[in-house]
Structure formats: structure tokens, C-alpha cells
Amino acid sequence: MAMKDVLPKPPTRRRFLSATGAWLAAARLRAADSPPGIPARLGLLLDTSSGMGFLVPQARKELRLLNTSLAAAGRPPVILREIEGAAIDREGSTSVGARRNVIYKLKELYAEVDTVLWITALQGEQSPGGIFAVEELLKESPEGRPARQLVIRNIWPDQLQAGDLWVQRPPAPEEDPLDLRNRPEEWYRLVGEGRGIIQRSWQTPPPDFRSAFGFPHRIVGSAFLRKLGQEGSEAAFDQAWTRDLTARHGLRFSRAKEEWPARITGRRWLMETTLLPYPDEEEITARSAAVFESLSARESIEDDLARIAAEKLGVVFGFGYVEQDLKRHLAAREKAPRSWRDFHFADLVRIGSECARHLADAAPSPTRIYANERITLASKSSSPESPDPIIRRIARMVREDKVDAIYLFTNGYLGGGEYGTWTMDLNLLTLAIREAGTRLYVRIPFEFGPTPRALARLAMASGGGVFRGRADDPDWIMAIPDPAWPEPVEEV
């Protein structure tokens, strides 16, 4: 089946989910208490490249809700511009076409707004001349308007999934545009002297530019703090940068007690982290619930399977968890969930039950082979006793059952860290399916976190693909990863 059959298709008419309707009603009730209009106006520049993953639909959904709230308060909306990638060069550049050159989108936005929030992976061609052109644009001061500012939110799912491991096992320099080995001073100089701020989880800014970096309220991590020259395992940081933005826009850009995520699941990410600014705590709680419901929406398992053309299809359900954690959850399931971990296990039990119902309802068929893998772990730091049981089952289906396609429905957790850690052996998966020509289709429910980009590229290379959100949700329409098998790991 062609990948286009797996990607979302724009609907003729789109309806909001019930949680969104509840959010809208609450926003109108609070409109009378909203702050008065202020002079500084905000614009959003959204990177829609494939590496941005679920952050693209999240930003689109949050922006609609934010603008509804602003309209209820009689305030102008946040203007949106989208661009695939983060290429920057001077105007008229022959190496970076106008459609890919961020300088044009920034000029469009600054014609109407005073601050641009740029959510981007910063992956692309960036010339010193282009960065200088952005700096000159920021220095312009239209009469009667506040000074221009640029907030660069450097973020992408792979970096979020790595979490604090990014500090202990940093990636190759070419994968991180703000790595100190890449001399990121030009980016910090761009937003220096009050022209803006850079936000990035687990980023160590150059010592001379720390005032231009948006630290969270609290950081827990001795390895990271040592890089900043601080002793101890935790530290609190001045929040002047977010207070200044709140005073400028009447919106909050960071939660009161926000920390950098060590690992993310879908619900934890939305409960604890800020992507787009918000008017007040009550509103972001309601907004996060609405966005979570929308991002978690998907077709049924049977609907997914019906879209895969295969003479013989292998269906693998694979879920890992710490056994004691599940026992604690089941013992306390009559109580309302309170922490992100409580919610995570409620999601795990609900989705696991969905898989069990599908298995019970599935009629015996020579064209479908099912496997249900449950990986119970003794602790978060432990790993399965045998090599990756999920991939081992896939390999058996390919070798013994001769399936020509695999549908993998999983939370991807095999221990090795907190929930949200991804340790599946993609090189072993490649060995299992590549020579046989077996196509791989992947569905990781949003509740469990984003699909690793390397897994998505592997699925594409096999001729399969990744199911994302609902097929009729246009918010998921964006660039898709290029097909690529993982680079083999050489044994030492």
C-alpha cells in the first residue's frame, strides 16, 4: 500500500471534539476577567518539517484555542505562518529559494506583530548572511510599536525523547544545531541585547550568552548542572525572561513550576510542559485536556488493518511495563488518577483492553496472524531477559508464517529508564524484515509518546508507513520522514 493511503486526508468538514467544546465554553465564561489589550502583538512561525512530528498538530490545535480565548477577551489573534524547514539566507538568495527562506516569513509577520515565537528544529541551510539579515530585521523599530523580539523554541521529538540522556550521551554534532561544538554563538548573538530568547530542553548555552537563554523554574540533574559550573543535583533559575514576556503580551510562556522533561509520554508532555503561551492556569489545564483528546483520537485497530493491502498480515501487539507498577495501579484503580504515572497506567490498561477485545472478536483467518506480547519488567532499569521479544516475534512471523506485511501496535517500552524511554533494537528489526521484503506499519498511540523518527524512516524504507492521529484530521498534514534503514552498529 502506498504511504499516501496512511497519511491524513483533509475532510470536507471538520468538527471539534467534545473536550474542545467544553474548553470554548469555559473561555467565554472567563472573558470578563481577561486582561485589557496591550500594545505588543504575538505571531507564530511554525516549522512543519518531518522532524517536528506531533508538535505540528499540537501547535495548530493550541493556537485555535488560544485565539478563541483572545477573541473572547476582545484581543487580536496570534498570527500564524508555516514553513517547512529552517533555511535562512538573504533576500534574493539563489541557494535558498523564497519558499524555503525563513526571512520572507519573518518579514510578513513583523509587518503585523512585535514578537515572533518560532517553533523549529533549526534543521536546514543557514548562512551567516541570513542570520545577519534577521538581526537587522529585529533592529528595525516601527514608530509607535514596541521593539521587535524573537523567541526561538528549538524543539523536536527525538530531542524530547532523549531527555536528560541528551546530556549523558549527546548525539553527533550535526544533529544538534545549538551544540557548543557547532559554535552556536551567532544564534545567541541574534537574540542578544534584549532582542529575544532561546528555549531548549537540556541545552547548555555558551557562558557569555546565558542571559539570552530561557531556563525553566527548576532543573534536576547533576550532570547538566556541572556543565553550568554548579554543584549539587538541583537548582532554581531566575524567571525574568518569562515575566518580561508576560508583561509584554499578557500571556504566560512557562508554567509556574515548570521543569525540563526527563522522558515524555503524550499526557505527561501536555500536563507539565508549555508549547504555546496561555492566559492563566485554569485555561491551560482545560486546553491541554482538549488537545490531548484530539491528538489521541485515532481509527480503530480494525480500521487500520483494513487500510493495509497484504496477502498475509502479521499483527503484533507489544506492551512493556514494570509489573509492580501495574499491580499498584490495579489496587488503586477506584481512586481518581492524580500523577502523570497514574494517568499513564489508566491509558495502558484501557488500550491493552482494546487490543484484547480486538483479539477476542477477530475471526480465525489464514490471511492474518496475531501475536500478543506483554513484557513484564522487574524495575525501570531492567531489560527483558531475552533479546527484544517484540522484534523476535516479528522475525518468527516473517520466517515461519511468511507474512508480507507487519502491523505493530506498541508502547515501545522495554525498560532501561522511565516510561517514555525507547530502547527497541532497530538494527535487529531491520535484519528481521529487510531481506524478506516485509513491509512494516506502525501505530504508537499518542498516549505513549511520539514515534521515533528512526523507526518511522525504517517503516517507510520497508514500503510501509506510520499511522498518525486520525486520517481525517488535517492538523496532521505535514512533511513525512524520508525512507532510510538505520545505520548498522559496528561491534567493538
Mean pLDDT of 361-369: 92
Task: Looking at the structure, tell me whether residues 135 and 210 fall in a common domain.
Answer: yes
Task: Looking at the structure, tell me whether residues 445 and 397 fall in a common domain.
Answer: yes
Number of domains the chain is built from? 2
Three-class DSSP labels, 186-248: HHHHHHCCCCEEEECCCCCCCHHHHHHECCCCEEECHHHHHHCCCCCCEEECCCHHHHHHHHH
Domain boundary among 295, 315, 340: 295
Band of pLDDT at residue 154, cut at 50, 70 and 90: very high
Q: What is the pLDDT of residue 34?
A: 38
Best CA proximity match to 81, nearest among 52, 31, 41, 116: 116
Distance CA 137, CA 249 (A): 20
In a domain, 100, yes or no: yes
Dig out the grid coordinates for 140 from the structure. Answer: 528595525
Band of pLDDT at residue 143, cut at 50, 70 and 90: confident
pLDDT exceeds cutoff 50 at 11: no
Q: What is the pLDDT of residue 21?
A: 53
In a domain, 291, yes or no: yes
Residue 45, burial from CB neighbour count under 10 angstroms (0-12, 13-18, 19+): buried
Q: What is the pLDDT of residue 38?
A: 56
Distance CA 51, CA 65 (A): 24
Residue 59, burial from CB neighbour count under 10 angstroms (0-12, 13-18, 19+): buried
Task: Looking at the structure, tell me whether residues 325 and 410 fall in a common domain.
Answer: yes
In a domain, 481, yes or no: no
Task: Looking at the structure, tell me whether residues 85 and 192 fall in a common domain.
Answer: yes
Mean pLDDT of 349-355: 96
Task: Looking at the structure, tell me whether residues 432 and 321 fall in a common domain.
Answer: yes
Which residue is associated with the grid cell 512561525? 45
Task: Looking at the structure, tell me whether residues 186 and 323 fall in a common domain.
Answer: no
Query: Which of 23-27, 154-158, 229-233 comes out lowest in average pLDDT?
Result: 23-27
In a domain, 148, yes or no: yes
Band of pLDDT at residue 476, cut at 50, 70 and 90: very high
b/e per residue 270-303 (b: at least 16 CB within 10 A): bbbbbbbbbbeeebbebbbbbbbbbbbebbebee
Q: Which amino acid is at 239?
A: Q
pLDDT tens-digit profile of 398-454? Answer: 999 999 999 999 999 999 889 999 989 999 999 999 999 999 999 999 999 999 999
Task: Looking at the structure, tell me whether residues 287 and 311 fall in a common domain.
Answer: no
Distance CA 67, CA 76 (A): 8
pLDDT exceeds cutoff 70 at 27: no
Percentage with pLDDT > 90 across the chain: 77
Task: Looking at the structure, tell me whether residues 174 and 287 fall in a common domain.
Answer: yes
The domain containing residue 372 runs over which residues?
299-476
Domain boundary among 295, 321, 348: 295
Task: Looking at the structure, tell me whether residues 311 and 232 fall in a common domain.
Answer: no
In a domain, 179, yes or no: yes
pLDDT exceeds cutoff 90 at 25: no
Helical H runs in 250-363? 266-272, 281-296, 301-306, 323-331, 340-361
Domain boundary among 295, 324, 339: 295
- pTM for the model stands at 0.91
Query: Which of 28-42, 172-186, 419-433 comes out lowest in average pLDDT?
Result: 28-42
Query: Which of 56-60, 113-117, 177-181, 401-405 comes out lowest in average pLDDT?
Result: 177-181
In a domain, 3, yes or no: no
Residue-averaged pLDDT of the chain: 89
Distance CA 219, CA 235 (A): 6
SS3 state at 369: strand
In a domain, 2, yes or no: no
Q: What is the pLDDT of residue 388?
A: 86
Best CA proximity match to 266, nearest among 66, 466, 411: 411
**Alpha-carbon distances of 347 from 167, 344, 446, rounded to whole Å:** 30, 5, 10
Which residue is associated with the grid cell 522495554? 414
Strand ranges inside 394-474, DSSP E: 405-410, 439-443, 465-466
